[in-house]
Amino acid sequence: MMRLTRRLMLPIIAFVFLGLTFSAMALESTAYTYTVSDDRRMIRTQDAYLPGSVLLREAGLMNPEDLHAVGEWLFIADTGNHRIVRYHLKTGDTLMIGSEVLKAPTGVYSSPGGDIYVADYAAALIQVFSPDGRHIKSIGQPETAAYGSKAFKPQKLAADSFGNLYVTTETNYEGVLQYDPQGRYAGFFGANRAGGLSLIEWIQETFFTQAQKEKLFSRNPPRIVNLEVSGEDLVYTVTQLNERQALKKLNMAGVNILHAPDFMGERNFVDVALLPGNLMVAVTETGAIVEYDAQGRYLFGFGGRAVSSDRNGLTSVVSAIGADDEGNLYLLDKQRGLVLPYLQTEFARRAHQGLSLYQEGEYAQAAEIWREYLRTSPRAAFVHRGYGLALWQMKAYDEARSHLARVREMNYLSDTFWEQRNAWLQKNLACILIALVLASALGALLRKQHRKTGVLKPLSNGWKALKARIPLLSNLLPVRRMMRHPIDTAYAIRHEGSGSPAAAGLLYLMALLVWALDMAFSATLFNNGLFSAPGANPIIAITALMVPGALFIVGNYYISSINDGKGKLRHVFITLAYALAPYILLTPFITLLTHALTLNEAFINRFLRMFSVGYTGALVFVALQEIHSFTFWQTIKNILLTLAFVILAILAIMILYMMWHELISFVLTLVEEVSLRA
């Protein structure tokens, strides 16, 4: 029995020892990692980072506000203890800096030259320390007219390799304060833009007097709350309450060069850190971490707040984030006074390696890495994007096009298609020209023979017999006449009984079908994704088109009747159907043409669509004017009133729907309550 017990104890002890050893390095993930899929949904993926053992648990940090990682050092603004804490990641050595000088440090930054810059909010000063912690100088409020009389409340700061200093303050909306290497104020840098006016603000701006406007709250642009400077001296800024401006990458001129079309920011980012390769990692106050590539495309999202339990890897209130040279992250938990490491996994390391190899021009090696990811993460958008771009650089355009199309990487997709089209034209242009010449010659020959012998007369007779047998075809013929002579066609519909409701209904169905096919089958470069976007419902989209159209027809008739219009409901129904002729005839051609165009020829697509819609609108206007015997201005009034009717009718339908929905929900709840009590 004792021998058996010993045999069991040995593996148990070994297992416990291995578990303790692993926990000292990285613990089991306490929050899932998410990424964006190729159909633009958030999906779970393998862990990109794992939480490590908590740092500085015994340091007694009190409400720390900032953290900056440089090499193997962490610099922490220990606000509540009026000091800066320098911590070595390998040895654990700590150095307390500035406790006799600082009052309430809220920002800290170690410059490329080694000097330590501190934003002291309570003292309204920027303090500068040497690498060994010796106080060098203080920088106060700018004393220039350009700064004005605003209070100086520095919060965060960063420095570039030239010694220029960038400071965010609590009271400035004009951008980041910039100082030259001598500490002299040099002006504002990288200001945000104010958002567009809301309807109420537009009314106030338009109709209020100057005295009334002065009593309103000023409309300031969103304030920059944090910043970071890269090794290339690009300034990265953090802005809250605006997802599109949440992160910016500013060049030396203060111009934002981060233009990811599908940038996915958060409204409550508090800090940003840079990984090798200028990958961006931003964190929210609640501890949610988002990693982006150098162009601002979403890579990973993980982390979060500990709500019901205190779990390692989850935070309370986060105030800052830092990153070391090995790609590990460090979160500063302000409420608990701790630093939480997140250690990079092999999954994230290989992804970073693929991005780095692409930037270095090693496209074949990058493609090999992304090919591995296709087996493990086949739905991740960053995988298809990385693989597609590597193939594009390798001139493997056919395969690259499919991956770039999945993630809607439009510019590269356009260039890929241009290369494919160019190669196809070089190979087939001679055959195309010969075919066009032969087709033209054959057409000319047939026309000549028809004039001599009537070779095409059987076709003409067959068409006449078909029209006589199917009256609906004859009623569709005014379509061609409407495009050339809209006034005569509208007159014939009203006074001569031309056209029929059946033909008009068929034209409406054709217009709806043409629109649906255009939405579904236009080339990816020109497709707005109405039918293919996540959560898209074609039935709802079609209904949203049909209901306003039907309301316009009915509303136009009743409004014209009130204003002494001569047209009947039948006339309006038929005339508007025939007026859709340009759209019905031109849109299929435009849909097909999109498959032969690149973004360089996008103006052709725009022009043809504008021409189609404009031509149709002109026919609608002329037809309604003739049908109702209105003048030009009466027709405009009639159309505007009709549009107002459509809007009000849709609002009424929505209100009725919500009321019925609430009533039905109430009745069902009441029935369920009664059944439970019975």
DSSP string, 202-248: HHHHHHS-HHHHHHSPP-PPPPEEEEEE-TT-PEEEEESS-STTSEE
Average pLDDT over residues 565-576: 88
- Going by the DSSP 8-state scheme, the letter that residue 594 receives in this structure is G
pLDDT tens across 651-678, in order?
A: 999 999 899 988 888 888 888 888 877 6
Helix axes 602-628, 632-677, angle to 10 degrees: 100
Which tops the pLDDT comparison, 600 or 472?
A: 600
The per-residue pLDDT for 537 is 80
The per-residue pLDDT for 504 is 86
Is residue 202 scored above 80 in pLDDT?
no
Q: What is the mean pLDDT of the chain?
A: 86
pLDDT tens across 352-378, in order?
A: 999 999 999 999 999 999 999 999 999
Is residue 221 scored above 60 in pLDDT?
yes
Which tops the pLDDT comparison, 377 or 3?
A: 377
The per-residue pLDDT for 479 is 76
The per-residue pLDDT for 245 is 85
Share of the chain above pLDDT 70, in %: 88
How confident is residue 4, by pLDDT bands cut at 50, 70 and 90? very low
φ, ψ for residue 508, nearest 5 deg: -65, -40
CATH of domain 26-344: 2.120.10.30
The per-residue pLDDT for 8 is 43
CB–CB of 493/499 below 8 Å?
A: yes
Q: Which two tokens stand for residue 4?
A: 């058996």
pLDDT tens across 269-317, in order?
A: 999 999 998 999 999 999 999 999 999 999 999 988 766 556 666 788 9
The per-residue pLDDT for 80 is 94
Question: How many whole angstroms separate alpha carbon 67 and alpha carbon 55?
Answer: 13
Average pLDDT over residues 321-337: 93
Domain 346-455 listed as CATH 1.25.40.10: yes
Handedness of CA 548, 554, 560, 566 (dihedral sign): positive
Question: How many whole angstroms separate alpha carbon 49 and alpha carbon 27?
Answer: 10
Tell me if 26-344 shares its fold with 346-455: no
Average pLDDT over residues 453-480: 68
Of 259-268, 317-326, 525-534, the one with minimum mean pLDDT is: 525-534
CB–CB of 375/387 below 8 Å?
A: no
Of 55-69, 242-256, 302-316, the one with minimum mean pLDDT is: 302-316
Is residue 535 scored above 80 in pLDDT?
no
**First vs last Cα of the chain: how many Å apart?**
63
Question: How many whole angstroms separate alpha carbon 280 and alpha carbon 236?
Answer: 9
Which range of 14-23, 100-109, 444-453 scores highest in mean pLDDT? It is 100-109
Domain-wise residue ranges, the chain:
26-344, 346-455, 476-661
How confident is residue 198, by pLDDT bands cut at 50, 70 and 90? low
How confident is residue 22, by pLDDT bands cut at 50, 70 and 90? very low
Question: How many whole angstroms separate alpha carbon 141 and alpha carbon 126?
Answer: 9
Question: How many whole angstroms separate alpha carbon 608 and alpha carbon 507?
Answer: 21
How confident is residue 6, by pLDDT bands cut at 50, 70 and 90? very low
CA 500 to chain centre: 47
pLDDT tens across 161-193, in order?
A: 999 999 999 988 888 999 999 989 999 988 888
The residue among 24, 82, 18, 31 whose CA lies nearest residue 52 is: 24
The per-residue pLDDT for 104 is 95
The per-residue pLDDT for 350 is 95
CB–CB of 329/341 below 8 Å?
A: yes
How confident is residue 199, by pLDDT bands cut at 50, 70 and 90? low
Which range of 57-61, 206-210, 565-569 scores highest in mean pLDDT? It is 57-61
The per-residue pLDDT for 21 is 35
The per-residue pLDDT for 591 is 94
Average pLDDT over residues 499-504: 84
Is residue 108 scored above 90 in pLDDT?
yes
How confident is residue 486, by pLDDT bands cut at 50, 70 and 90? confident
Is residue 24 scored above 50 in pLDDT?
no
CB–CB of 120/109 below 8 Å?
A: no
pLDDT tens across 613-630, in order?
A: 999 999 999 989 988 889
Is residue 14 scored above 50 in pLDDT?
no
Question: How many whole angstroms separate alpha carbon 452 and alpha carbon 236?
Answer: 79
